[in-house]
Structure 1
Amino acid sequence: MKRFFSSFLLTSILFLFAGNLQAQELTILHTNDMHSKLMGYGPESEYDPEIINNDNTLGGFARLATLFTQEKSKNPDATLILDAGDFMMGSLFHVAEEKTGFQLHLMKEMGYDYTTIGNHEFDFGPEAFANMLNAAEKKGGYPKIVCSNIIFDKNSKDDDALEKLFNDKKILPYSVVKKNGLTIGIFGLLGIDAADVAPAKKPVTIEKPEDAAENTVKMLKEIYKPDLIICLSHSGFYPSEDGKSYVGEDIELAKEVPDIDIIISGHTHVKITKPIKINNTYIVQTGSYAYDLGEINLNVENGKIDKFDYRLIPVDDKIKGNENITDQINEQIIYINKHYLSKIGLSYDTKVGQTNFDLNINYHNLKNSNLGPFVADADKYYLKENGIDADFSMVASGTIRENILKGQNGILSVSDMFRVMSLGKGYDGIPGYPLAKIYITAKEIKKLSEILVMSRASGGDGYLYTSGLKVYINPKKMMLRKVQKIELNGKPLDFSKKNKKLYSITADTYLLSFIGRIKKMSHGLVTVIPKDKNGNPVSDMKNQLIDINPDKQGIQEAKEWIALIEYLKSFKTGSENLPLIPENYKKGDESLVEESE
């Protein structure tokens, strides 16, 4: 009897011990910076989620939903599905989100547990973001949203609708969830750079991410004593200059707040196949657009991560898309056509052009990227065809959101062109930042050209492409003394003080708003004052909007994505009887020429 009892006790202990081991397992599936890419791309017209192995497109919510189901079935009670922000803004689907809440609700239906707020969630302003969430709530809800460092303005009503969602706990500073015996604390952060590039978020501001993180982690540990703390950080990191390590806000966050166990990173669109480990903190990021799904499989033992396995799962044509998700997306396309695109004589799937090569933005080689010059040329052409002259046009690399890909057949649709220049919304309610026109002197063009040289040297989002402007530099000269000669539309520009003529620049309102801030950006070294055609200083770009059709009542705003479509129409037709992008656009940026003395 004693032997039986001892044997039973030993078996029970082993069973409980084994059960405890099982309870420490956790699977985390994660994405970041999806930017409303509900459809796969490469180009979008070739995306066919219902059939496998018939296209080369990447991404798509239908495929992602299938992966969620497959991976979660392996560990159903111990799986978290997370996103690190910028889930919105980047395709025609975001156009209808404020009215329908479609994408946010779809994310919940797909299985997302938590996400955080990125800078592009504020593209239409705090009230519009609140409207999106309220619309999704009426539709059936959205994933839990966590953000710990948002600060609302007590003296402004412009953020009251979003603040109410925080007060009503529809958006949380943090959350605590139980998964398979583990207590997990989850919180979110909006990074400093992300906040800086979100001008439409005003009057919302942020607390310093490290301070908010430190306070939140301390509170979580004292009150909830979690086994794991996960931060959804829309802050990001980049490879170091030597390529041997990583630098950036999330790297510093891990150093300053070491009790964070895992940082699911976003904002910088960096794809890593192995986790970064800073002391005991793991940092991961999948790139962007849900082209890959991140998967973490870990064990926690004695309050510490004992095993951390990480991989990226390609979201490609080997995965058959979820049919229900596909059907819902197709219904939403019908809605977008009816309520938005039909008003400007377009439809989502309309074929508008053809290409025999890729046009891309490569942040590692922006000078040789050919998409920037193409967009700048399109803007200038579009205005000229409508009787509006501009001496030169400018486009920032950071506003170009998608490459133009040949794919298998090179067919380009309206949706493909929109994805290229998808940011913002005009004062007319039609998506896309509107084009505007300002005037500066020849001397200021010289100053601006020096800034162009600096921006191109530093790369990143601020690399500026131009059409109509050609700058000749001596790279050996000192900073702000490099520009030797300037040509406007093939003619030399006299940029001496005696030339008092005003010259016109066209760009979208987002980019032009930075022109007047050059003095601050250059630490007082350079001043460029935007003016109207009469030479009066301009502070509100709304007053400089281009009216593409003055014969109609009100201002008919000019959009860059429409400029792309109109520019395509100017080309000769190719094999598919569609306008074919000419071979000369295989070249990169040739608007800056280096010359020696």
Structure 2
Amino acid sequence: MKLNVLFINDVHGYLAPHPELFYDETGEIIETVGGYAHIAGLVEAIRDENPNTLFFDGGDTLHGTKPLVDSKGEVIIPILNSINPDAVVGHWDFGYGPERLKALAKQLRFPILGCNVYKENGTNFLRPTMMYEKEGIKIGVIGICAMIIDKVMPERMGQGLKFTSGIHEVPLHIKNLKAQGANVVVLLSHNGFPQDVALLEHVKGIDICLSAHTHNRIYKPIEINGARIVQCGCHGAFLGKLTLEIDRNSIKNFDYKLIKINSALPKSETTERLVEKVLKPYQDITKFVLGYTDTILHRYSTLNSTMDNFLLKAIAHATKTEIAFSNGWRFGAPIGVGAITENDLYNITPMNPPVSTVELTGAEIKQMLEENLERTFCKDPFGQMGGYVKRVLGLQINMRIENPNGHRIQEIYYKDSHLKYERIYKVSFVTSQGVPNKYGKNRREHDQRAVVVMKEYLKNNPVFTPDKIQSFRLV
């Protein structure tokens, strides 16, 4: 028997085809890919060819673009139900709060899984596992939501919940699923590729790990302790297709393809109509040009980001500060050379947070950056708790990535001189992920929000060019 296991992850609310970053011999290029109509069309074609097909979504599904944020996830429900995945897990899906996630889950035709999410009384908030059967073959699925939700994400996301790594729960669920007759065990995880590798190194009995969160494009499955692990980029640009040959209740062969979702693929007319209905009220902001960029703006680099350089210059301009911080978010479709629309600005910050200022000592700035570098590069994967490195404007940081916690930063320059640790600096930022609440004094939330200040910045700087000097430099 041949079993197909299909997978998407980290779509982040990108309902329609959109720009995505790729590479050729010239460097960075932009292609138009993705869109649920083409994802649905491909899934339908594969299901028609082989009914022994399961389809999973790795989460970051209900949040990430303006239509989804405006409706608190509501508008994507009919689209997801039209495609009908077999299960999903979550991260930013908790962005509207746990109770809202529960309300949305009731409208879905498929379960949200999470064996590592607990209520205050110690009971499971979500269903931990599912069992599926195809031609007598039983496939057990264990879900893991992002362990970082109650640790580094905005407080409302994990209100009243506790999130674990799953490393203690997974072996118990493997045992239970196999006791129920599971021939294949799948781990559907939003912890991230490094964390999933670490878990698989310690836990036996997983056949397939569908990994998410870190936006890796894995073109060939990586084998860890008998498990095959895959991850499919982000924004719905790819779909992973695993084909398992199962004979006498055991897996005899694996085949895998990472399929780019482009216009050459079949399209579901039903799903396309649902997408068009959601996007119709937002057509104006996709066409309204506010300015231009002479460089591709994106967030696909671990240390520095041209897209966040634009965001930080805008908030610094609005607050008349020279130093600015934002989180190292991974989500956000790139902006190609040319026009910048209002919709692009919402893709940069779909939650449209207020701009804030705070006074930090130089010592606090260094401590905050060292903390962020440890959360990004911790040698223990379960200590890695965030996206990319914090985005910074106005400072140049020379660092050694291989150094131990607290000692990675060699120098911090501000205006061509070393940052003075005893001096107080007024800085601007967006969200508590930009500057955590435990740092600084005289924290003030301004009236203007991120999208407005980016609009104002483009009025004064209609053609944006990113800074040539990057904030973080490896030495």
TM-score grouping bracket, smaller chain normalisation: 0.7 to 0.9
- Among 453, 460, 463, which residue is 1:563 paired with? 453
Give the alignment's TM-score, normalised by structure 1: 0.68
- Among 355, 360, 364, which residue is 2:293 paired with? 355
Aligned to 2:40: 65
Deviation at 1:180, TM superposition (A): 2.5
- Per-residue displacement from partner, 1:527-569 (whole Å, max 9, x unpaired)? xx4211xxxxx6xxxxx21123xxxxxxxxx2x2333233222
- Per-residue displacement from partner, 1:419-453 (whole Å, max 9, x unpaired)? 1222xxxxxxxx3222222123xxx1254146547
Give the residue type in structure 2 aligned to 1:545.
E
Deviation at 1:259, TM superposition (A): 1.3
Corresponding pairs, count: 452
- Shift of the 370–235 alpha-carbon distance from structure 1 to 2, 3 Å rule, reads same
- The share of aligned pairs that are identical, in percent, is 22
SS in 2 for 1:185: strand
Conserved? CA contact 2:215–2:234, under 8 Å: yes
- Per-residue displacement from partner, 1:19-61 (whole Å, max 9, x unpaired)? xxxxx321111111111111221179xxxxxxxxxx9401111
2:40 aligned with 1:94:
no
Aligned to 2:380: none
- Shift of the 320–352 alpha-carbon distance from structure 1 to 2, 3 Å rule, reads farther
Residues 562-571 or 32-41, more deviating: 562-571
More helix by share: 1
Aligned to 2:383: none
Conserved? CA contact 2:395–2:414, under 8 Å: yes
Aligned to 1:283: 229
SS in 1 for 2:309: helix
- Shift of the 258–507 alpha-carbon distance from structure 1 to 2, 3 Å rule, reads same
Deviation at 1:193, TM superposition (A): 4.2
Conserved? CA contact 1:230–1:263, under 8 Å: yes
Give the residue type in structure 2 aligned to 1:79.
T
- Give the distance between the partners of 1:360 and 1:255, measured in 2 at CA: 33
- Give the distance between the partners of 2:419 and 2:15, measured in 1 at CA: 50
- Among 461, 464, 467, which residue is 2:390 paired with? 464
Conserved? CA contact 1:119–1:195, under 8 Å: no
- Shift of the 446–319 alpha-carbon distance from structure 1 to 2, 3 Å rule, reads same
2:346 aligned with 1:411:
no
Give the residue type in structure 1 aligned to 2:159.
K
- Per-residue displacement from partner, 1:444-485 (whole Å, max 9, x unpaired)? 125414654785796783523333x3447698x994884475
Give the residue type in structure 1 aligned to 2:102.
A
Deviation at 1:235, TM superposition (A): 1.5
1:151-550 matches, cutoff 5 A: 151-154=118-121, 171-193=126-148, 196-199=151-154, 200-222=157-179, 224-237=180-193, 248-335=194-281, 347-364=285-302, 366-367=303-304, 369-381=305-317, 383=318, 388-398=319-329, 401-406=332-337, 410-422=338-350, 431-440=351-360, 444-449=361-366, 451-452=368-369, 461=387, 463-467=389-393, 469-471=394-396, 479=407, 482-483=410-411, 486-487=414-415, 495=420, 497=422, 502-514=424-436, 516=438, 529-532=439-442, 544-548=444-448
Conserved? CA contact 2:396–2:473, under 8 Å: yes
Give the residue type in structure 1 aligned to 2:239.
L
Deviation at 1:196, TM superposition (A): 3.3
- Give the distance between the partners of 1:299 and 1:485, measured in 2 at CA: 57
- Give the distance between the partners of 1:236 and 1:493, measured in 2 at CA: 36
Give the residue type in structure 2 aligned to 1:464.
K
- Give the distance between the partners of 1:594 and 1:26, measured in 2 at CA: 45
- Give the distance between the partners of 2:166 and 2:262, measured in 1 at CA: 35
Q: What value does the CA root-mean-square deviation take over the aligned residues?
A: 3.3
- Shift of the 355–512 alpha-carbon distance from structure 1 to 2, 3 Å rule, reads closer
Deviation at 1:326, TM superposition (A): 2.1
What are structure 2's unaligned runs of at least 5 residues?
Answer: 22-29, 378-385
- Give the distance between the partners of 2:368 and 2:80, measured in 1 at CA: 42
Conserved? CA contact 1:66–1:320, under 8 Å: yes
- Give the distance between the partners of 1:74 and 1:27, measured in 2 at CA: 10
- Shift of the 306–194 alpha-carbon distance from structure 1 to 2, 3 Å rule, reads farther
- Among 124, 127, 144, which residue is 2:96 paired with? 124
Aligned to 1:84: 58
Conserved? CA contact 1:38–1:93, under 8 Å: no
- Give the distance between the partners of 1:175 and 1:296, measured in 2 at CA: 19
- Per-residue displacement from partner, 1:228-254 (whole Å, max 9, x unpaired)? 1112111222xxxxxxxxxx2212322
Conserved? CA contact 1:473–1:593, under 8 Å: yes
Q: Which structure has the larger Rg?
A: 1
- Per-residue displacement from partner, 1:298-344 (whole Å, max 9, x unpaired)? 1112332101100011101212532322222222124568xxxxxxx
Deviation at 1:591, TM superposition (A): 4.5
Deviation at 1:362, TM superposition (A): 3.4
Deviation at 1:152, TM superposition (A): 0.4
- Give the distance between the partners of 2:175 and 2:69, measured in 1 at CA: 40
Give the residue type in structure 2 aligned to 1:448.
I
SS in 1 for 2:387: helix
- Shift of the 96–590 alpha-carbon distance from structure 1 to 2, 3 Å rule, reads closer
- Give the distance between the partners of 1:43 and 1:191, measured in 2 at CA: 24
Aligned to 1:108: 81
- Shift of the 268–472 alpha-carbon distance from structure 1 to 2, 3 Å rule, reads closer
- Shift of the 234–391 alpha-carbon distance from structure 1 to 2, 3 Å rule, reads same
Give the residue type in structure 2 aligned to 1:190.
C
- Give the distance between the partners of 2:4 and 2:472, measured in 1 at CA: 50
Aligned to 2:27: none
Conserved? CA contact 1:62–1:325, under 8 Å: yes
- Per-residue displacement from partner, 1:187-219 (whole Å, max 9, x unpaired)? 201243465343421221124402111111111
- Shift of the 465–325 alpha-carbon distance from structure 1 to 2, 3 Å rule, reads same
SS in 2 for 1:192: coil
- Give the distance between the partners of 1:483 and 1:450, measured in 2 at CA: 13
SS in 2 for 1:145: coil
- Give the distance between the partners of 1:298 and 1:90, measured in 2 at CA: 33
Give the alignment's TM-score, normalised by structure 2: 0.84
What are structure 1's unaligned runs of at least 5 residues?
Answer: 1-23, 45-54, 156-162, 238-247, 338-345, 423-430, 517-528, 533-537, 539-543, 549-557, 572-578
Runs of 4+ in 1 over 6 A off after TM superposition: 456-460, 472-475, 592-595
SS in 2 for 1:65: helix
Aligned to 1:541: none
Aligned to 2:113: 146
SS in 2 for 1:353: strand
- Shift of the 474–329 alpha-carbon distance from structure 1 to 2, 3 Å rule, reads closer
- Shift of the 198–119 alpha-carbon distance from structure 1 to 2, 3 Å rule, reads farther
- Give the distance between the partners of 2:398 and 2:256, measured in 1 at CA: 47
SS in 2 for 1:253: helix
- Give the distance between the partners of 2:216 and 2:474, measured in 1 at CA: 31
- Shift of the 363–580 alpha-carbon distance from structure 1 to 2, 3 Å rule, reads closer
- Per-residue displacement from partner, 1:46-77 (whole Å, max 9, x unpaired)? xxxxxxxxx9401111111111111111102x
SS in 2 for 1:463: strand
Residues 321-330 or 226-235, more deviating: 321-330
More strand by share: 2
Deviation at 1:131, TM superposition (A): 3.4
SS in 2 for 1:417: helix
